[in-house]
Amino acid sequence: MEKGNEGGNEEGREGVFDFAEFFMEKFSERKVDDYMNYKIHKHGFTWQISPTKNTHENKVTSTMRALCREFEQNYEKKFDDICRTCASVDTNSDNYMNILSELVDGEPTWGRVVAIFAFAGALAVYRLEQGHEKDVDMIREWTCSFMHKHVDDWIAKEGGWKGLVKFYEQLQERRMGGWWSIIVVVIGAVCLEALSVIRR
């Protein structure tokens, strides 16, 4: 009898809705939405299906914007070339996911999370410049899906998105050193590896 109850309890636990996972997924989606919306509007485009038109900037979103902005400013030419090369091959789910998978191969870091956001925003702008508006929604969907599957659990272990703010504050204290260059080299290698796979 007790065994039966234990089995029932296990089944019950399996059927319980995981609110923590749900909210982490939604938080990540909102961060992706905010940054892509910010990046697109900054370049003079209108995202017709913008899921963040009624949201407001907060400490986390402003931190992500600042990190991505500094990242792109320091390595604008190199990063732009990488995005254009990736987009010129083909923009589809498999290619995009391959790039992100290579980027977070192993344990994610806040630096790699910033790189994911910067890449998504830059690629979305490039596709808009090329007249491929529908790709923006797909890039958003693929990025959110990847975050949920491969990054959200790590963010939860790091104390949630407030960990990004702490990471930024620590970077400011030591003025980043060679951090950006390391991340750019990683992205460059990732894109080249993904492109070599795509072209086979």
Q: 82: which residues sit within 8 A by CB, 6+ positions away?
A: 187, 188, 191
Cα separation values, 38 from 65, 73, 108, 134, 200, Å:
8, 16, 24, 18, 35
Residue 137 has pLDDT above 60, yes or no: yes
pLDDT at residue number 11: 45
pLDDT at residue number 18: 45
Statement: the pTM of the whole predicted model exceeds 0.95: no
Backbone angles phi, psi at 190, to 5 degrees: -60, -50
Exposed, middle or buried by CB within 10 Å (0-12, 13-18, 19+), for 95?
Answer: middle
27: left (phi over 0), alpha (psi -120 to 50) or beta: alpha
pLDDT at residue number 22: 45
Domains of the chain: 18-46+55-199 (1.10.437.10)
How far apart CA 49 and CA 37 sit, in angstroms, is 10
> How much is the average pLDDT of 7-19?
46
Q: Which residue has the higher pLDDT, 114 or 171?
A: 114
Residue 51 has pLDDT above 90, yes or no: no
Share of the chain above pLDDT 70, in %: 68
pLDDT in tens, 53-87: 555 668 999 999 999 988 888 777 777 777 777 77
CA-wise closest residue to 68 among 129, 113, 125: 113
How far apart CA 37 and CA 97 sit, in angstroms, is 21
